[in-house]
Amino acid sequence: MFLQGSWKLMSEESDSLRTSPSAASLSENELPLPPPPAPIGYVCSLTEELVAKAREELQEKPEWRLRDVQALRDMVRKEYPNLGTSLEDAFLLRFLRARKFDYDRALQLLVNYHSCRRSWPEVFNNLRPSALKEVLASGFLTVLPHTDPRGCHILCIRPDRWIPSNYPITENIRATYLTLEKLIQSEETQVNGIVILADYKGVSLSKASHFGPFIAKKVIGILQDGFPIRIKAVHVVNEPRIFKGIFAIIKPFLKEKIANRFFLHGSDLNSLHTNLPRNILPKEYGGTAGELDITAWNAVLLASEEDFVREFCQPVPPCDSILAPAPEALGPDAPCDDSTRAVKSQLYSCY
């Protein structure tokens, strides 16, 4: 069974509500539309072990979880009322967990998340699985069916599967972002994070040249500061000599913590196996988990078409109008005399 039941296919509910026509505007034969169903309250799906891990590593306290979410929700409404974001408990929890329940940092991550999406239309417009079938079929990326010993899902990227004459590099970035969006729907992933396995076998200088400083800065900016996911390790295998040049391009944009999580193994698969055991790897990487199969993960993404259409294929207002703080939003040096900040300060003292 794919991922042995570890996947929880989660669909996000839209925050927009349909307004029913008033009774006065209906004809005699028309009935008013029923009100939309009330949003389902958050129900934690974490195991006791993961609840304990979240408490220890992320400062997440189940008894205060919904209070923390409400505090972040209030901050969004106060400071970025036009952000156009989901305010559902489960959605906001992603950002709190990614920033260890630091309200200010979680809010900034949420704003960055929307800013990135609206400032790079080549990547984020019409972002849906059916628009990326060619990339998915190429095998450029997939998610392995087994997690690592820490419970991290493994995103496997193979740049040699990309033929630049077929489509631009931004299509690969779109497919990667699509995969991250699907992965982060799982609360397990929000707590455990992910591992990236990058196979650079056969990557030529001409292909590497497509990943210049502009693209590198954009992608790294999203991964580090614009997406609520924890990258626990990046394992690079079969890297050619030119990879030193590739890494020289991206390293200036990496935070020290992330840079220290890069591991270059070359063709030494035994080195890889000290971090990722053979029983979770496909035979292409010296593992015993069968051949690398891309079809199962592709099916997961394609089955999520409606979710992505609802989230990424709707018109949005201009970036500036959405991301501008409310005129009355408090600056960093303003006095904390409003109720939202009072709640925030009160909860900070609990940690």
Q: Is the residue at 150 inside a domain?
A: yes
Contact at 8 Å (CB) between 86 and 331? no
φ, ψ at 89 (rounded to 5°): -55, -50
Claim to verify: residue 154 and residue 276 sit in the same structural domain: yes
Residue 330 in domain: no
Half-sphere exposure of 66 (CA within 13 A, CB side): 5
Query: What pTM does this model have?
Result: 0.80
Q: What is the pLDDT of residues 14-47, one digit of tens each?
A: 343 333 333 333 344 444 444 444 455 799 999 9
Do 343 and 74 contact (CB within 8 A), yes or no? yes
Residue 81 burial (CB count, 10 A): 14
- Distance, in Å, from the CA atom of 100 to the CA atom of 104, rounded to the nearest integer, reads 11
User: Which DSSP category does 324 fall into?
Assistant: S
Residue 102, domain member (yes or no)? yes
Residues 240 and 294 reside in one and the same domain: yes
Structural domains in the chain (count): 2
Sign of the C-alpha dihedral, residues 265, 270, 276, 278?
A: positive
Domain hosting 112: range is 48-119
In this structure, are residues 54 and 60 in contact, taking their beta carbons and an 8 Å threshold? yes
Could you give the CA distance from residue 222 to residue 76 in angstroms, rounded to a whole number? 20
Instruction: Return the closest-CA partner of residue 209 out of 267, 164, 255.
Output: 164
Supply the pLDDT for residue 316.
64
Between 141 and 28, name the one with better pLDDT. 141
Same domain, 137 and 111: no
Exposed / middle / buried, residue 212 (Cβ in 10 Å: 0-12, 13-18, 19+): exposed
Residue 110: which H helix or E strand, with range? helix 103-119
Q: What pLDDT, in 10s, does the model give residues 88-115? A: 999 999 999 999 999 999 999 999 999 9
Residue linked to tokens 């010993």: 149
Q: What's the rounded mean pLDDT across residues 310-314?
A: 83
pLDDT at 245 (0 to 100): 80
pLDDT category of residue 86 using cuts at 50, 70 and 90: very high
Tokens of 197: 């396995």
Query: Do 214 and 285 fall within a single domain?
Result: yes
Helix locations, 59-168, DSSP H: 65-79, 89-98, 103-119, 121-124, 133-138
- Residue 60's CATH number: 1.10.8.20
The residue out of 119, 138, 157 marking a domain boundary is 119
